Structures are given as structure tokens and as C-alpha cells.
Amino acid sequence: MKSPKPNRRPSQLAMDGGMPIRRTPLPLEFPGTYFYGKQELDLVSRVIRARSPNRYYGLDLQYMTEQFEREFAKFVGVPHALAVNSGTAALAVGMMALGIGPGDEVIVPGYMWVSTVGAVVRLGAIPVLADIDETFCLDPKDVERKINKRTRVVVLVHMSGATGNVAPIVELCRKYKIHLLEDVAQAAGASAHGKRLGSFGDISIFSFQLNKPMTTGEGGAVCTRTKQLHDRAFAAHCVGYPRNAAGRLDLKNLEFATWGYGARMNEPTAALALAQLGKLPKICASMRERKHKLKKMLSDIPGLSFRRLDDPEGEAGSFLLTIFPDAAHANFFVKALRAEGIVPQRGGISNIRMTDWGLHIYHHIPSLVNKLPVSGGNNPWKDPRNRASQRVCYSKGTLPRCDDLISRTLLLCIPPVLTNRDVKDISDAYHKVAEAHPLL
Ligand SMILES: Cc1ncc(COP(=O)(O)O)c(C=O)c1O
């Protein structure tokens, strides 16, 4: 005999045995992949048919990388763009172009990615953490407090698809004659008041890894304001030397010679990047539209707030950050929402507490907290040239505002294919949980 169905009230939370709002997982993130189509196939096929996967040599060069660099620079609004094979490589190359080394300090936000600090450490310089504010990006006041005569670069990381206080940070860098490097890895296609992110700094870097607004699986770019920075970045991304017009290494030109990373982009990747670039505004518009709709629907929940956005119309729209009054509420909500079915398909990371957001948070990076050497005896924190910077600390508690915000915020990915139904289900789940467990 079948057991009788339990008598469930619609308002009973799924975590307490009630009916969940939905049973189908939400679509995966990876925005750019949903837009793969004929253009990607045609351009990549052209490279393969021409049997020329390298940008410099081959049977029948297609010049995809060159064309991509030209079009990307135009898109961002800068004079130069250099295609590389990852955002991590772009950061390494960018820092090298700026000539960072022992004795230098580089200001980075507490919410970033391990590669942002790694690029500094690998060159023997000291990363100095600055706090974030409700924009989840650098707090200009804390940046100014951290500036001293050793500060060479401020890295403004445009996190989770949008920028923060770009104008005051630009102003600070000007005032103190410090380089500005924009890390736009998570926000390609976004802008601030009509100016593309990546066009504010001396150098800006991008990632085209799978989770980013446009994707080639792995890939990146370095944009530069001056020919000199571009030439240095070029040598750093290649084998340490410039190349001549025929693509041959120019070993006689030692002006920008260095030790290169071998981080060149290949032609099939550039072909994919070219096709994706053409679709980037549409990809961002699709995410933004869904995010704005959802945010509006959630805006009547008392006690729930959102990340502060300087220019909501310019954001990429890839993430919604919901901020709770305290960590206990955030922890309860994430469990309750997940029980209501607000979870991504397998392989996705969405609707998580930001405390679970891995190497994006300074005190989650063990090699930073423990000041581990790069290799052998090469350890910037033990280098006498960095003596003045050695008291710098990276343990939890170093950035109180960052710690507080991260502890009470949930992160939801906004794939560009979220349906109206998906958006409504997310909103219904938030409202259901808020009704059962008010925030105020
Ligand atoms: C802020 C930030 N910077 C840099 C990177 C590095 O990019 P990649 O994964 O292409 O090496 C990432 C990647 O997640 C990132 O989020």
C-alpha cells in the first residue's frame, strides 16, 4: 500500500520537508559558450583548413591573432592590445612591462584572484592588501592609507562583472604618480559611464577562460596605453625579445629585452576570440537584462541589500551579490535556497556563500598567508631589499570590511540563458525563505 502524501503547506520550507520551488537545476554559467555558433566554427575552420595554427609561421597564415588584437584594442578604446594564453599570463606580462621588482609594493584588493597577487610575488615585489567597500572593489580611502614611497602600482580588480570606484582610484594614481593596472578578467565588455573597463589604466588585463563573459576556454589579453609598455609586454609574453615585421625574433634590439614567459596566443584560439568579441555586447546585455529583472523582483525583501554599482547600465551582469544583515542569515539562506532548488547543474558553482569562493579571497590563499617562497631561496618576504615591507600581513582579520562583507554575502551566477521561469523561481525562493525567516 502506498504511503499517504505528507500534508505540506506551500509556505513550508523545503529544508523542513516542504515542497521545493523547483526541481530542475539552473543552467550552468560559462556565458560565452551559449553564443558559440557559425562564426566560431567558420573562423576556427579557416585556420584548420589553412593548416596554420601559429601566428608567425605556417603554410597559409590567416592572421587571426593580429586581427583580434587590432579589434580588441578598438573595442576597449586603447592604442594597443596583445593576445596571450591566459589572464594569469596577462597579469605576469603586465607586471613585467611595468618593471616591478624587489623593493616595490603593489596595492591589491582583498577580493581578487590568486593570480593577481601571484604576478607581484613572482617578480620579487610585495603585494599590499587594501580593503574593499560595498562595491566589492577597492576602497579608495584604504588605498590612500596604504600608499607610501615604495608603492609602484595599484591593481584595480573589477570583480564579479562590474567596476567600483574607478574615478577616485584613477585620481589617486595620478596624484601620487603610481601606475594603474586594471584587472578586467571578470568584466570584459563592461564599462563605466560610457568608457570601457580596461581603458582607464596604464595597463589592463583580460581573461577569456571558460567562466568569463567571452571565452576561448583559456586565453587573455594585455592592453597598453603606450608603445613602450606594449613593446615591453610583447617581449615578456614571447621569449624576451621583440619580433620584426616578418615575425622573426629581433635579437639585436635589446631595448626591451627580458626573460619571456612563452605565453603567445595560438591562431585557433584567436579565431574563437574574434568570433566571441563580436558577440560580447550581446552576451553582456543578455546577462544584464536577467540580472536587473531579478534584482528588481528581490528589492522588496526587507533587510536584503545589493552590491553598490556606480554604473548599473555598464556592468557585465554575470553575477548577483545579495548582502544579508549578518553571516548567520546568509548561512541560513544559502541552505534554505538550495533546498528550494536554487542550485546549478552539476559542474557549476552558483548560489554559494562568498566565504566558499576559494582563491578569490586573500586569507583563503595559503601561499600568501604563509608567505611561501616562489622557488628555492627566492622569497620576496625575506629579501633584504623588501625589508621595509616585511611586516605586511595577509591573515584573516587584515581587512575588516572585506571579511565582514564576504561573510554575509551570497553569490549567484546569471547565465545569459536564464529563462523568465528561472528568474521567477529564484525570486519566489528568496521571498519564501524571507517570509519564513525574516531578515529584520
Ligand atoms: C580577477 C581575476 N584575475 C585574473 C584571473 C586569471 O585568469 P585566467 O584564469 O585566464 O588565468 C582570473 C580568473 O579567474 C580572475 O578572476
CATH code of residue 105:
3.40.640.10
113 within ligand 1 shell (Cβ under 6 A) = yes
Q: What is the pLDDT of residue 300?
A: 97
Is the Cβ atom of 94 under 6 angstroms away from ligand 1?
A: no
Instruction: Verify whether ligand 1 is closer than 6 Å to residue 157 (CB atom).
Output: yes
Contact (Cβ atoms closer than 8 angstroms) between residue 183 and residue 116: yes
Q: Which atom number of ligand 1 is nearest to the Cα of residue 211?
A: 14
In a domain, 226, yes or no: yes
pLDDT one-digit tens code per residue, 147-175: 999 999 999 999 999 999 999 999 999 99
d(CA 182, CA 233): 15
Please write the tens of the pLDDT for every residue from 321-379.
999 999 999 999 999 999 999 999 999 999 999 999 899 999 999 999 999 999 998 99
Position 7 scores a pLDDT of 53
Taking residues 136-149, report their average pLDDT.
Answer: 98
Determine if ligand 1 sits within 6 Å of the CB of residue 87.
yes
Q: Which atom of ligand 1 is nearest the CA belonging to 91?
A: 4
Ligand 1 within 6 A of CB of 116: yes
Who contacts 246 (Cβ-Cβ below 8 Å, separation ≥6)? none
**Count of domains for the chain:** 1
Bridging pattern class, strands 191-192 and 179-183: unpaired
Asked whether residue 289 is domain-assigned, the answer is no
Q: Which of 106, 111, 160, 209 to mutate to test the pocket of ligand 1 (most atoms within 8 A of CB)?
A: 209
User: Which structural domain, as residue segments, surrounds residue 106?
Assistant: 38-277
Q: Is residue 234 part of a domain?
A: yes
DSSP-derived letter for residue 336 is H
Residues 6+ apart with CB under 8 A from 128: 105, 106, 107, 108, 146, 151, 389, 392
Is 212 one of the annotated active-site residues of the chain?
A: yes
Calculate how far, in angstroms, residue 186's C-alpha sits from the geometric centre of ligand 1: 7
- Is 314 a domain residue? no
Residue 371: per-residue pLDDT = 97
Helix/strand/coil for 207: strand
Decide if pLDDT at 53 tops 80.
Answer: yes
Alpha-carbon torsion (277, 282, 283, 287), positive or negative: positive
Contacts of 220 (CB under 8 A, 6+ apart): 83, 84, 85, 86, 87, 88, 89, 90, 185, 205, 206, 207, 208, 209
Q: Which residue has the cell 549567484?
A: 412
Write down the pTM of the prediction.
Answer: 0.97
Quote the ligand 1 centre to 208 CA distance (angstroms): 9
- What is the position in ligand 1's atom list of the atom closest to the CA of 207? 10
| Lowest mean pLDDT, pick from 74-78, 253-257, 372-376 | 253-257
Indicate whether 5 pLDDT > 80: no
pLDDT tens-digit readout, 104-126? 999 999 999 999 999 999 999 99
pLDDT in tens, 358-374: 999 999 999 999 999 99
% of the chain with per-residue pLDDT over 70: 98
pLDDT, one tens digit per residue, over 266-324 is: 999 999 999 999 999 999 999 999 999 999 999 999 999 999 998 999 999 999 999 99
pLDDT at 263: 98
**Residue 186: CB within 6 Å of ligand 1?**
yes
Q: Please say if the pLDDT value at position 8 is more than 80.
A: no
Q: Is residue 26 part of a domain?
A: no
Report how far ligand 1's centroid is from the alpha carbon of 428 (Å).
33
Given a cut of 80, whether residue 222 has pLDDT beyond it is yes
pLDDT reading at 223 higher than 80: yes
**Is 167 part of a structural domain of the chain?**
yes
Task: Give domain status of residue 343, yes or no.
Answer: no
Residue 427 near ligand 1, beta carbon < 6 Å: no
Task: Let me know if residue 365 belongs to a domain.
Answer: no
Question: Do residues 179 and 203 lie in contact, with contact meaning Cβ atoms separated by under 8 Å?
Answer: yes
pLDDT at 1 over 50: no
- Residue in 32, 80, 62, 74 with CA at minimum distance from that of residue 316: 32
pLDDT tens per residue, range 407-422: 999 999 999 999 999 9
Q: Is residue 131 scored above 50 in pLDDT?
A: yes
Over residues 49-77, mean pLDDT: 98
